[in-house]
Amino acid sequence: MEKKWKVRPADQTVVARLKDQLNIHKILCTLLVQRGVDSYDAAKAYFRPSLDDLHSPWLMKDMQKAVDRITEAFSRGEKILVYGDYDVDGTTAVGCVYQFLRQQREHVDFYIPHRYREGYGISREGIDFARDNGFTLVISLDCGIKSVELISYARQSGIDFIVCDHHLPDAELPPAVAILNPKQADCPYPYKELCGCGVGYKLVSALCETWGLPPDTPHYYLDLVVTAIAADIVPITGENRVLAHFGLKRVNEAPSPGIKALIQLSGLDKTLHINSLVFVIAPRVNAAGRMDDARKAVQLFIEQDPIRAAAYAEMLHNDNSERKDADLSITREALALIESDLDMQDRKSTVVFQPHWHKGVVGIVASRLIDRYYRPTIVLTQSGDIVAGSARSVIGFNVYEAVHRCKDLLIGYGGHFYAAGLTMARENIDAFTALFEAVVSESITEEMLTPELSIDAEVSFSDLVPLFYNILCQMEPFGPDNMRPLFVVRRVYDTGYSKIVKEDHLRFVLRQGDVTFTGIGFNLAAKYPLLAGSSAVDVVFTLDENEWNGEKNLQLKVVDVRRSEFT
């Protein structure tokens, strides 16, 4: 699939001024300006994160109320239930807050709703569990901001709620004794992009101050916080950047027994980065909720015994192996459905259904289908008496709005701009497929149907020296709003040594002037003919380091290649 290449702009006046202040390569200054770093002081904060840069937890609306209610519960011997969602953000948040409270008092337990029996967020079953077991205070993490009716129901049973959430609130808020959510319209907290575990960390920080605990007590939980930041795809800016930086330091130097066991089981023996957490740790944690029960993810996070932690890690690892098998087989089946139907191939949307597909992976499969057929995609499966599914979108297209316009054919739906969940009666699948296609066709543009590479800067091979790369590495941790820089180099030539490796991949050996670089392009074997003869090519890549026999060399991780316009 051909992609559009678009080089991001940067204000060259600001770039020149920053270069004078920092005395580093102009391209590096361009990258910084694109990321909102436009002065010496901003660069110092960016390159040298400090825990002193974290905001006071007391700036968050209702923090005092939350701390007072928890302190009161402890003094009166009340039972506290820490309640969280079944994804990585929810389970790490519960692991963080539960562990901390449990170290102070005995009467604390945790609850994770079952993904399929109870669904997302606060459930009636969970509230009934709290009531039947004598819990009078529930602290909800990564959920609860929209649970107006259910928290009202809890109040009728004499149960108070403290809601810690980061999702956008509706106009009506739940009747909780305290709501910690920086996205509340009247919350003065300066940083709005914390994840659920980040909000939980702030609560722990405030409790530590109130109870006179050592100021570094919350730092113990930073490995959980960074895992949540990575998995929940929140911006790696401001406070999240500080938390992620020190969280990664903890992951690499002194992880909790559970995180350590997952790292060992995953076979990771080098320094871990955000990507390691996103692609290796997070899927194993998420797999618990997708394939079975997410309680074991929390049990992994809170376990102090290395042998028991290894046993929990093994369970998550097995769940993930099962998830991968289901994911790959369903993706293959879904692609076969599309490829056997010419009409389906020509549509502006994809809707596929098979009753036997595993509900826990339909969202992952929808994302994989978009890699092949770049358009809004919905994958459906049978769930009891009804059909349930997940929608995923392409850049710029609001899939939630498109699903909303089909609501008359649905039992229920929810989501946001790029992802949604939905349920319907099985007899409505064909009508829904037709209507969804009509809605998408009417509102999507051809530009949205073409994937785009957002390139940070054009470089020459001569720019790419070890000092340049060393400063680039200090821009980590990478993630949303601070992505790993993507470069383009133009008019480079194959040396004659480039070749296809393992059928699908392309090993590059390219030169520009008298500088030669090697590189690897995964799944780019189809581009090999572009390197034939003496034609110049343009290459989009990230810069990487390859270590072989103790020797380190810079190399290109190639994302795309095309023939130069003027050869």
Q: By mean pLDDT, which of 57-61, 90-94, 352-356, 417-421 is the weakest?
A: 417-421
What does DSSP assign to residue 48?
A: S
Strands ordered across the beta sheet of 135-141: 108-111, 79-84, 135-141, 160-164, 178-180
Quote the pLDDT of residue 566.
Answer: 65
Q: What angle do CA 305, 310, 316 make, to 5 degrees?
A: 130
Does residue 500 surpass a pLDDT of 80?
yes
CA-to-CA distance for 493 and 510, rounded, in angstroms? 5
Give one DSSP letter per residue of 244-261, joined into a string: HHHHHHHHHHS--HHHHH
User: What is the per-residue DSSP string for 128-165?
Assistant: HHHHHTTEEEEEEES--TT-HHHHHHHHHTT-EEEEE-
Mean pLDDT of the chain: 93
Q: Which of 152-166, 214-228, 248-262, 288-302 has the lowest mean pLDDT?
A: 288-302
Helix H or strand E encompassing 239:
helix 238-253
Higher pLDDT, 120 or 537: 537
Alpha helices in 386-458 (DSSP H): 399-404, 429-443
Listed range (77-91, 283-297, 385-399, 462-476) with the worst mean pLDDT? 283-297
pLDDT in tens, 88-115: 999 999 999 999 999 999 899 999 998 8
Q: Using CB atoms within 10 Å of the CB of residue 118, give its burial: 0 to 12 exposed, 13 to 18 middle, 19+ buried.
A: middle
3-state secondary structure of 218: helix
Q: Name the β-bridge partners of 539.
A: 489, 561
Is the distance from CB of 219 to CB of 246 less than 8 angstroms?
yes
Residues 6+ apart with CB under 8 A from 480: 233, 234, 235, 236
Strands 108-111 and 79-84: parallel
Provide long-range contacts, Cβ within 8 A and 24+ apart, for 344-347: 345/373, 347/375, 347/437, 347/441
Beta bridge partners of 551: 548
Taking 60 as the threshold, does the pLDDT of residue 567 lie above it?
Answer: no
DSSP label at 254?
A: S
Mean pLDDT of 330-346: 94
User: Which amino acid belongs to residue 455?
Assistant: I
pLDDT at 287: 87
Summarize the confidence of residues 178-201 as an average pLDDT: 96
**Given the structure tokens 């009417």, which residue do they identify?**
442
Count of other CB atoms within 10 angstroms of residue 513: 11
* CA 219 to chain centroid: 22
Rounded average pLDDT over 394-422: 90
3-class SS letters over 446-475: CCCCCCEEEECEEECHHHCCHHHHHHHHCC
Q: What is the Cα gyration radius of the chain?
A: 25
Strand partners, 137: 80, 160
Average pLDDT over residues 306-333: 93
What is the rounded distance in angstroms from the CA atom of residue 505 to the CA atom of residue 229? Answer: 31
Token pair, residue 285, equals 């944690």
Torsion of CA 532, 537, 542, 547, to 10 degrees: 40
16-30, 201-215, 260-274, 467-481: range with lowest mean pLDDT = 260-274
pLDDT over threshold 90, residue 225: yes
pLDDT at 547: 80
Residue of 440, 459, 456, 460 lying closest to 448 (CA atoms): 440
pTM for this entry: 0.90
Over residues 455-475, mean pLDDT = 96
Percent of the chain whose pLDDT exceeds 90: 81
In angstroms, rounded to a whole number, what is the distance separating the alpha carbons of residues 447 and 444? Answer: 8
- Rounded to an integer, what distance in angstroms lies between the CA atom of residue 239 and that of residue 246? 11
Question: Residue 101: in which H helix or E strand, if any?
Answer: helix 88-104
Q: CA angle, 95 as apex, 91 and 98 as ends, to 5°? A: 125
Of the candidates 366, 368, 394, 393, which has an alpha carbon nearest to the alpha carbon of residue 379?
A: 366
Contacts of 199 (CB under 8 A, 6+ apart): 60, 93, 141, 164, 165, 166, 180, 181, 182
pLDDT above 60 for 471: yes
What is the percent of the chain with per-residue pLDDT over 70, rounded to a whole number?
99
**Helix or strand (DSSP H, E) at 224:** helix 222-231
Confidence at 552, pLDDT banded by 50, 70, 90: confident
> β-strand 412-416 against 419-424: which pairing, if any?
antiparallel
* 207 pLDDT more than 90: yes
User: Is residue 84 within 8 Å of 143, Cβ to Cβ?
Assistant: yes
Kindly state the DSSP code that residue 348 receives in the 8-state scheme.
S
| pLDDT above 80: residue 1 | no
- Band of the pLDDT at 252, cuts 50, 70, 90? very high
| Cβ contact 424:410 at 8 Å | yes
Task: Give, for 489, the enclosing helix (H) or strand (E).
Answer: strand 487-494
| pLDDT above 60 for 258 | yes
> At 360, is the pLDDT very low, low, confident or very high (cuts 50, 70, 90)?
confident
DSSP type of residue 502: T
